[in-house]
Amino acid sequence: MKINQRTSPQFSIALVLSMACLSSSACSNSKPAVDTSQNDRAVAAAKDLRKSAEAGDAAAQYRLGLLYDEGSGVPQNSIQAKEWFEKAATQGHARAQLHLGMVYLAGDGAPQSAQMALIWFHRAAEQEEGLAFAKLGGMYARGRGVLQDFIQAHMWYNLGAAHGDLKAAEARDALAQQMSATQIAEAQRLAREWKPKGK
């Protein structure tokens, strides 16, 4: 017996969707190919960097600290990151000083200490590290490790902006909304007169 019956569009759509779901679930157990070459390169780079870092190269120590901080090529380890940042920072590496200050400010890999953060931010600022100026501005604006001082905060934000930190410029402008014209003028004078020690 021959039945000549038209299939409804709704049935056709349901049939196609069912087949698509079945085929995708059948393939879901297969694992996609993973490119391990990028991870292998990161591990090899970390090994090479470690040799230079252990030999006392401050730039390598800083970069190795970053790798530990990010978990790239090495297991993520905040304590190891802090140790490598500190080795580079004590040799005068400005970015390492900045990162070490951030470690102390956050308490990630070291005990939280706003005073230690201030020390390291000041050292990085002495080398005209732009973000260090902004970090100091934030500490004075919030009173972290120091008495809250909008004039000092504005000065540090202004120096950060002058060294290319756009967020420092935004923070300075927002802070200025809470300051008198006299306070802003004093902060601007201090920023103009600021010089790194020894210059």
Q: What secondary structure letter does DSSP report for 145?
A: S
Q: Which residues contact 155 (CB under 8 A, 6 or more apart)?
A: 137, 187, 188, 190, 191, 194
Handedness of CA 172, 96, 37, 74 (dihedral sign): negative
Q: Which residues contact 106 (CB under 8 A, 6 or more apart)?
A: 112
Model pLDDT, residue 78: 96
41-127 belongs to CATH 1.25.40.10: yes
* Identity of the amino acid at 74: V
- Produce one character per residue of 43-58: b if its CB has 16 or more CB atoms within 10 Å, e if not: eebbeebbeebeeebb
Model pLDDT, residue 45: 85
SS3 103: helix
Residue 83 to residue 78: CA distance in whole angstroms: 9
Site of tokens 């401050």: 58
Average pLDDT by consecutive 10-residue portion of the chain (199 residues)? 51 50 47 62 87 96 96 94 98 97 95 96 96 97 96 98 94 97 97 87
Nearest to 164 by CA among 126, 127, 129, 124: 129
Yes or no: say if 97 and 127 are a contact pair by the CB < 8 Å rule: yes
Integer CA distances (angstroms), 120 to 57, 70, 85, 127, in order:
19, 21, 11, 11
Model pLDDT, residue 28: 47
Model pLDDT, residue 24: 46
Model pLDDT, residue 39: 77
Model pLDDT, residue 154: 98
**What residue spans define the domains of the chain?**
41-127, 129-199
Based on C-alpha coordinates, what's the Rg of the chain? 28
pTM: 0.78
The DSSP H or E segment spanning 128 is: none
Model pLDDT, residue 186: 98
Q: Which two tokens stand for residue 54?
A: 């252990």
